[in-house]
């Protein structure tokens, strides 16, 4: 499948309607409780004791919130497993619906998308030459760092230097020497800015676009990427022989034809539907991307994010899909540019229209296939939970089942913090569990945990963005586009 299904197409959803803390929160705000789940409690002191040994993990409200929500998820999963170790009663529908919808759209595609995928040898050769398939370029570059929070004065200063370096290169100054003198990429002085040969898809977009437009010997204009400002010189360009690539290229050309046919069908299907992203939808989308546990009132849930003739995408629908996304995806959505977010919302509406169209055509997912998918999903969950040590939960001597759950969950969280285990993302399943049991983080307690952890540390922690639902650790700063394997040094 190429572009017909955009189910993984970055949704974002709905509201600045976060409910107030509520009566239960008010009644517990004076206690030492950070979170509760299925009768269990995570106290402020327990959370502090989990976090304080790990100075590399910043003491921030986002970190504490992520820790508390993971504790709820794992406590509820362990509680469910105590009742039934097979998890047979756990509602997997929120997890499976996207897969079922995808199958409907696959069936629709096979019926309605007709593409001419027959190419003569001459047509294929001409297309190969036009697209320069498999081309590689050998390039050098000079990188000048530009901080994300650079002031206008700083930006002007770095840009002025970049233009000067570009002009020197175009005037004939040895490019390798310029890279040695000016480039701020690690190792640039030793390599003279050499990146070796690289193909399309190996460099960040703006850098790649500029490099592949140059002919050998040409110098680019100043190119900006997330790494900073670049001046690029292409030294060589290699185009594979058609005979060596024709089989792979034919398959690629067929895929392109199918994708074009799909896009044409989608355009015909949606152009007359008048898709319109509603005012305020982007703000709502970012709010729910950061807080997928938000409980929407009926009115808030019915708010339309996108309207089209014959339907709408509501905040409730969007929230359900968001809950199926992992933390990095939600973080990406929350940080996206407004226009990108509007486009994702349009894609979500387009997906909904496709499912409606498939249902109109009478397509259904075979019940046997549904059962098979459900069994597979449940088995994968069981396997992951066993690997994490979250089940089976067995009480030790003189220990109650409740104490066993708390011991197992705390032990797994400690392994995550030590980086001895990876986060087990429950995504949509976590919200199925929260529908069945109670689970709540008390926001007023979060700051107290932060304050107590900070008090145990010799200096303030750096501010590091935290993806919701995961416990972050400091990440290395991004480097300039990397030399592909086998590239020059």
What would the mean pLDDT of 218-229 be, rounded to a whole number? Answer: 93
356 pLDDT higher than 80: yes
> Which range, of 65-79, 311-325, 455-469, averages the lowest pLDDT?
455-469
Q: Which residues pair with 276 in a beta bridge?
A: 307
| Beta pairing class for 194-199 and 136-144 | antiparallel
> Which range, of 114-123, 403-412, 479-488, averages the lowest pLDDT?
479-488
- At 470 the pLDDT is 53
Q: Measuring CA to CA, which residue among 73, 89, 83, 95 is closest to residue 392?
A: 83
Check residue 56 and report its DSSP letter.
Answer: T
What would the mean pLDDT of 311-319 be, rounded to a whole number? Answer: 95
- Could you state, in order of their start, the residue ranges of all structural domains in the chain? 135-238
pLDDT band at 189 (very low <50, low <70, confident <90, very high): confident
Tens of pLDDT, residue by residue over 445-455, are 999 999 999 99
Q: Which two tokens stand for residue 451?
A: 């304050």
- Close Cβ partners of 415 (under 8 Å, ≥ 6 residues apart): 389, 421
> Which range, of 6-10, 49-53, 218-222, 307-311, averages the lowest pLDDT?
6-10
Higher per-residue pLDDT: 240 or 481: 240
pLDDT band at 11 (very low <50, low <70, confident <90, very high): very low
Task: Give the C-alpha separation, 317 to 319, whole Å.
Answer: 5
- Burial label for 60, CB within 10 Å (0-12, 13-18, 19+), is buried
230 pLDDT higher than 80: yes
Backbone angles phi, psi at 399, to 5 degrees: -125, 135
Tens of pLDDT, residue by residue over 447-488, are 999 999 999 987 544 444 343 445 544 433 333 344 333 333
Tens of pLDDT, residue by residue over 260-314, are 888 888 888 888 888 999 999 999 999 999 888 888 999 999 999 999 999 999 9
Q: Measuring CA to CA, which residue among 335, 288, 333 is closest to residue 431?
A: 288
- Close Cβ partners of 19 (under 8 Å, ≥ 6 residues apart): 294, 295, 297
pLDDT band at 9 (very low <50, low <70, confident <90, very high): very low
Q: Measuring CA to CA, which residue among 240, 216, 232, 220 is closest to residue 135?
A: 240
Residues 255/115, Cβ–Cβ less than 8 Å: no
* Percent of the chain residues topping a pLDDT of 90: 50
pLDDT band at 368 (very low <50, low <70, confident <90, very high): very high
**CA 47 to chain CA mean position, Å:** 27
Residue 54: Cβ within 10 Å count: 16
**CA 10 to chain CA mean position, Å:** 8
Q: Which two tokens stand for residue 343?
A: 């486009």
CATH number, span 135-238: 3.10.50.40
- At 300 the pLDDT is 95
CB-hemisphere CA count at 13 Å for 1? 15
- At 464 the pLDDT is 40
What would the mean pLDDT of 167-187 be, rounded to a whole number? Answer: 94
Mean confidence (pLDDT) of the chain = 84
- At 131 the pLDDT is 74
pLDDT band at 32 (very low <50, low <70, confident <90, very high): very high
């Amino acid at each position: 499948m190429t572009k017909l299904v955009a189910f993984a197409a970055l949704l974002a959803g709905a509201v600045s309607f976060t409910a107030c803390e509520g009566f239960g929160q008010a009644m517990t705000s004076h206690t030492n409780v950070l979170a509760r789940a299925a009768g269990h409690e995570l106290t402020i002191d327990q959370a502090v004791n989990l976090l304080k040994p790990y100075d590399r993990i910043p003491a921030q409200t986002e970190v504490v919130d992520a820790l508390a929500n993971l504790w709820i998820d794992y406590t509820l999963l362990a509680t469910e497993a105590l009742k039934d170790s097979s998890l047979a009663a756990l509602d997997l529908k929120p997890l499976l619906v996207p897969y079922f919808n995808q199958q409907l759209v696959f069936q629709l595609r096979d019926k309605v998308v007709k593409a001419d995928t027959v190419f003569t040898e001459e047509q294929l050769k001409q297309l190969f030459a036009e697209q320069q398939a498999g081309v590689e370029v050998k390039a050098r570059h000079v990188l000048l760092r530009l901080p994300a929070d650079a002031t206008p004065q700083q930006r002007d200063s770095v840009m002025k230097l970049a233009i000067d370096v570009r002009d020197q290169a175009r005037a004939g100054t040895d490019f390798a020497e310029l890279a040695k003198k000016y480039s701020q990429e690690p190792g640039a002085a030793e390599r003279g800015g050499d990146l070796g040969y690289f193909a399309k898809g190996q460099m960040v977009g703006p850098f790649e676009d500029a490099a592949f437009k140059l002919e050998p010997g040409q110098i680019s204009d100043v190119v900006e990427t997330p790494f900073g400002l670049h001046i690029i010189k292409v030294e060589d360009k290699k185009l594979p022989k058609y005979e060596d690539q024709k089989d792979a290229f034919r398959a690629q050309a067929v895929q392109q034809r199918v994708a074009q046919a799909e896009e044409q069908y989608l355009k015909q299907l949606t152009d007359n539907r008048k898709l319109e992203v509603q005012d305020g939808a982007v703000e709502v989308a970012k709010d729910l991307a950061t807080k997928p546990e938000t409980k929407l009132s009926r009115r808030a849930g019915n708010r339309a994010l996108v309207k089209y003739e014959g339907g709408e995408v509501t905040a409730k629908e969007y929230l359900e899909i968001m809950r199926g996304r992992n933390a990095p995806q939600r973080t990406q959505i929350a940080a996206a540019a407004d226009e990108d977010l509007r486009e994702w919302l349009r894609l979500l509406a387009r997906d909904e229209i496709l499912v409606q169209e498939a249902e109109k055509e009478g397509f259904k997912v075979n019940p046997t296939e549904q059962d098979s998918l459900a069994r597979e999903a449940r088995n994968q969950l069981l396997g992951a939970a066993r690997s994490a040590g979250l089940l089976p939960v067995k009480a030790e001597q003189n220990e109650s089942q409740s104490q066993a759950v708390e011991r197992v969950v705390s032990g797994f969280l400690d392994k995550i913090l030590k980086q001895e285990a990876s986060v087990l993302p429950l995504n949509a399943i976590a919200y199925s569990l929260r529908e069945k049991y109670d689970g709540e983080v008390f926001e007023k307690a979060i700051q107290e945990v932060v304050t107590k952890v900070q008090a145990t540390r010799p200096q303030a922690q750096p501010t590091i963005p935290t993806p919701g639902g995961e416990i972050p650790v400091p990440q290395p700063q991004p480097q300039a586009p990397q030399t592909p394997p086998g590239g020059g040094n």
